[in-house]
Every structure is written in C-alpha cells, then in structure tokens.
Structure 1
Amino acid sequence: MKDILGLQGQPTLVVGGGYGIGRATALLLAEAGAQVAVADIDGERAASVAKEVGGHAIVGDVTTAAGADAIVDEAHDVLGGLTRLANIVGRVQMREFEDTDPAQWQDQIQFNLVQQMHVCHAAGRHMRARGGAIAMVASVSGIYGARKHVAYGAAKAGVLSLARSLADEWGRYGIRVNTVAPDINATPRILDGANRPIDEALASMDAKAAREGVPLGRFGRPEEVAGPLLFLLSDLSSFMTGQCLVADGGTMARFPHAVAGEG
C-alpha cells in the first residue's frame, strides 16, 4: 500500500500539525511512510506529535511572511528537501456581519487566507526544482453562504481560489495544489470547549447533525479530513490539481427543502 501511495520517504511538512486535524494528518502521513516535520505555534504540541511520528518539531507563526519562510526553510533543511505540504491552520470567529468590525475582518483574513499564501510562497521556492504536492484545508463556508461568519467564509473562498490559481501557475513545475473543505468537525478544540465529558459532547454534536439533516447523521472526525489530505498528497491523485474535496457528510448532496417523511 505504501508503494501505491508513493509517499515512502517523501519529505513532508504539516503546518498546524500539533492538534486536531493536523495531528491526525501527521500520523497518517507517517504511517504511509513519509518523513514528517510537524510545525505548530505551540512548541509542546509540535514536539509531542513529532515524537509520535518519529519526525521533527518546528515552532513558529505562519501569519507573517518571515515566520512562514523560517518554518518552511527549516523543514527543507531538516528533511533534506520538501515535496509534500499540508496546511491545516485556521480558526473561525462567529459574529453577525453588522457586528463585524475591521479588526475582526482582518484577523479572519490574515489567519485563514494570508497565512496560506505565505506558506505556499515559501514552499514554492523549494518545490519548483523537483515538483511536489500541496494540500490546504478550506471549508464548506467558502462554498455555501456563511451566516454569522462572513469574514471566515470569504477567507476560505479565497483559499479555494488560491489553490486554483497556483495549480494553473505551477503546473509547469510539476506542483499540484488542492484543497479539502470540511463541514463542522469534532476537533479537540470544539469538544474541549463544550465543558462536558467528551463522549457527551460528541453525542450532542452528532444529534445536532442528525436534526439538521446531515445525510450521514453526524459531524466529521479529524481523521476523516486527514484521509482526503493524504490522498491529495499521494500518487493516487497524481493527475488532480486545482480541485476541492468536500468532506461534509453529504450535506451538499441534500435537497435543501426536504421535509422529514417525504420521498
């Protein structure tokens, strides 16, 4: 299976790899045989996951160009190259649009879109010589209307556009750029913030998903975003670029005006 994936020995950087979806992605990539560097703003988390995967921990902040350059350059140096990159970094702030001030708008754009640009810019300098694959986490909020998180949705829509544009520009270098767009995901951050036992918090989330008509009847798990990211970094997706894989439990496939009990 490792031969099929083509990730054996590939120098790989996971940005935001110390927690949640990032940790799940780092673990899966390591299981597939990749050499993994785990970058996170939290040094303890980066070190913990790096130990799990037998890789390298890198500490830094990708929301600045200098910070992104430093992280990517360090990964390139410790791995002896860089051919795969997964960027999971992102955060959402919920607020009605009329209550969204310029500072919050800037925060959401910077943290969810601009940092992706910084990381891609840094990684491209190294990948242009030998090709590679980049997979970024977007969101269904960049595809649907994003009520109460307009700035976040606009930023994630920008990530989708960034991936398509880079796929077009960098195809000639053998660099593929794709995205995964999750819906609500049961990350540790969400579960820990529920202030109740994890099993209860997870059951409550899944019950909400069922009430809201998610076809699979639950919200996603971190490993269910890590899987598509792994696929997009593997040789199994070698002719895919500029694409978005939606991991939403089927919500996008559902007729929005369905009534319970009707066929």
Structure 2
Amino acid sequence: MAAVDAPPRTYVILGASGGIGSALARRLAAQGAKLVLAARDSDRLRQLAAELGAVAAPLDAANFAQVDACVNLGIETFGRLDGVANCVGSLLLKPAHNTTDAEWHDTVAANLTTAFAAVRAGAKAMFKTGGSIVLVSSAAASVGLANHEAIAAAKAGVIGLTLSAAATYAARGIRVNCVAPGLVATPLTARLTGNEASLKASAAMHPLGRIGNPAEIASAIEWLLSPEQSWVTGQTLGVDGGLATLRAR
C-alpha cells in the first residue's frame, strides 16, 4: 500500500509584510506550507499573499481579538495549525529621559503586546494538538546598549514570556522559543543602515564584522517552527553576529 502523504504544515505569520516576516513567508511557502499572513500594511500584505498563494489577514497585531480571529481563520481555512511566528516589531533609539509616554507605550505594544497576543492565540488554538510558537526578541535585551532603554525592556519581556509560556504549555506539546537578532538590514532599520557612517559603526559592533540580513533570521525561525525540532523549547537563539556574547576586539 502506498504511503499517505502528510498534509502540508500550516502557519500564521504576524508581521508578514516586514523584512524578516516576508523572508520567512517565502521560505515556508517554498517548503509547501499553507500560510495565513498578517500585518498592518494591507497593500504589501495582499501583494505578498498573492505571490505565495497565501491568505492575507490585515490586522493590528497588538489587538487580541484580531489576532485570535486571524489564528482561527487559519484553522477554518486549512483545518489545522502547526505554528505561529510573531515578526512584528519596532525600533526606538532614545535615552529614557527623551522618550515620550506615547513612544514608550507604542514600543511595548509593538514588541511585547504582539508577542503576548501571539502566545495567547496560538496556545488556545494548539492546546489539544501541540505545535510551535516563535517570538522575536533582540540582542539588546541581554547586553547593555546605550539609548535602547524602551526597546531593550520590551524585548527582555519577550524572553521572559518565552520562558514562562514554554513551561506552561510543555505538557500540551506546544513549544515556545524566540530568536534574538542583532542589527538586521530591513525597511525598519533603513535610517541606520542607509547611512554609510552609521552602517560602518553598526557593523563594527558585531564581532563578525557585519550586520545581518533577513534571510538569516528567517532561517532560524523556520528551524524553530519545524516539528523536527520537537525537543527544543524555552530557548532564546542569538542570531546576532556575536553581538550579545562576544568581545572580539
């Protein structure tokens, strides 16, 4: 009797229209995965979804009800859910005394609230089936970088969330991990990477002598999402050119 092919894996990607999110979507689609792509930028999102044959779900990823609905859409459309990745984020480089109330709240919402929404919705959806949730932290969460107070605090919260959720849902077969990038060349970081002097200084901060690219981060997220990594949970994977752990110069 011929072997029955396994059904395609199904994933929800929050922040799919960004540099890392779109790179992840393309990698997963190339593996035959079925995707629900979510982001605030509906035009870019729908273009990407059309390119990949995916479902587009415009939303505010800091809105719990909208994220819940997006994850449910994946199950309703494809009949299953194997994982959720939260690639939503922001970048604020200011010392605390110059950070406004609005900037603080926006930073926490974009980086930590979206992560919590992804965990909450993903855990509910995969409570009986198991699966994988991958969040995005930052090297700034574990190494002191000047003028990173708000973003470092929010991204450190993502690591704490990862650890607690991994412990809570391990018995349910839900793995929760995160990646912690250094500076990556994306539209979000264009103000830094588009300036030659700033780019040179940023590259020098990383022991490997350069900044990262979206494909490198997407590859790590893809690896953590895969059921082949069924014994990996509660981990923060540094994909940062050595920024958080090494002093090579």
Q: Given the two structures, how large is their TM-score scaled by the length of structure 1?
A: 0.86
Confirm or deny that 1:106 pairs with 2:105.
Answer: yes
TM-superposed CA distance for 1:123, in Å, is 1.6
Structure 2's unaligned 5+ residue stretches are: 1-5
CA distance in structure 2 between the partners assigned to 1:222 and 1:252 by the alignment? 18
TM-superposed CA distance for 1:211, in Å, is 3.3
Q: 2:228 aligns with which of 202, 212, 236?
A: 236
Number of positions where the alignment pairs a residue of Structure 1 with one of Structure 2: 244
TM-superposed CA distance for 1:190, in Å, is 2.7
TM-superposed CA distance for 1:254, in Å, is 2.3
TM-superposed CA distance for 1:72, in Å, is 1.7
Q: Which residue of 2 aligns with 1:30?
A: 29
Q: Which residue of 2 aligns with 1:246?
A: 238
Structural mapping, 1:4-15, within 5 Å: 9-15=8-14
CA distance in structure 2 between the partners assigned to 1:112 and 1:18 by the alignment? 16
CA distance in structure 2 between the partners assigned to 1:249 and 1:183 by the alignment? 7
Structure 1's unaligned 5+ residue stretches are: 1-6, 259-263
Q: Indicate conservation of the 8 Å contact 1:38/1:56, yes or no.
A: yes
Q: Indicate conservation of the 8 Å contact 2:177/2:234, yes or no.
A: yes
CA distance in structure 2 between the partners assigned to 1:114 and 1:235 by the alignment? 26
3-state secondary structure, aligned to 1:225: helix
Q: Given the two structures, how large is their TM-score scaled by the length of structure 2?
A: 0.91
Q: Which residue of 2 aligns with 1:68?
A: 67
For residues 120-158 of structure 1, give each alpha carbon's deviation from its aligned partner in whole angstroms, at most 9, with x where no partner exists: 111211101100001111111111124212111111001
For residues 46-72 of structure 1, give each alpha carbon's deviation from its aligned partner in whole angstroms, at most 9, with x where no partner exists: 111112222111111121222222222
Q: CA RMSD in A?
A: 2.0
Q: Which residue of 2 aligns with 1:225?
A: 217
Structural mapping, 1:20-169, within 5 Å: 20-169=19-168
CA distance in structure 1 between the partners assigned to 2:245 and 2:104 by the alignment? 30
- Seen in structure 2, the aligned counterparts of structure 1 residues 107 and 210 have a Cα distance that, compared at 3 Å, is closer
TM-superposed CA distance for 1:19, in Å, is 2.1
- Seen in structure 2, the aligned counterparts of structure 1 residues 44 and 208 have a Cα distance that, compared at 3 Å, is same
What stretches of structure 1 move > 4 A for 4+ residues in a row?
202-206
CA distance in structure 2 between the partners assigned to 1:182 and 1:8 by the alignment? 32
Q: Which residue of 1 aligns with 2:185?
A: 186
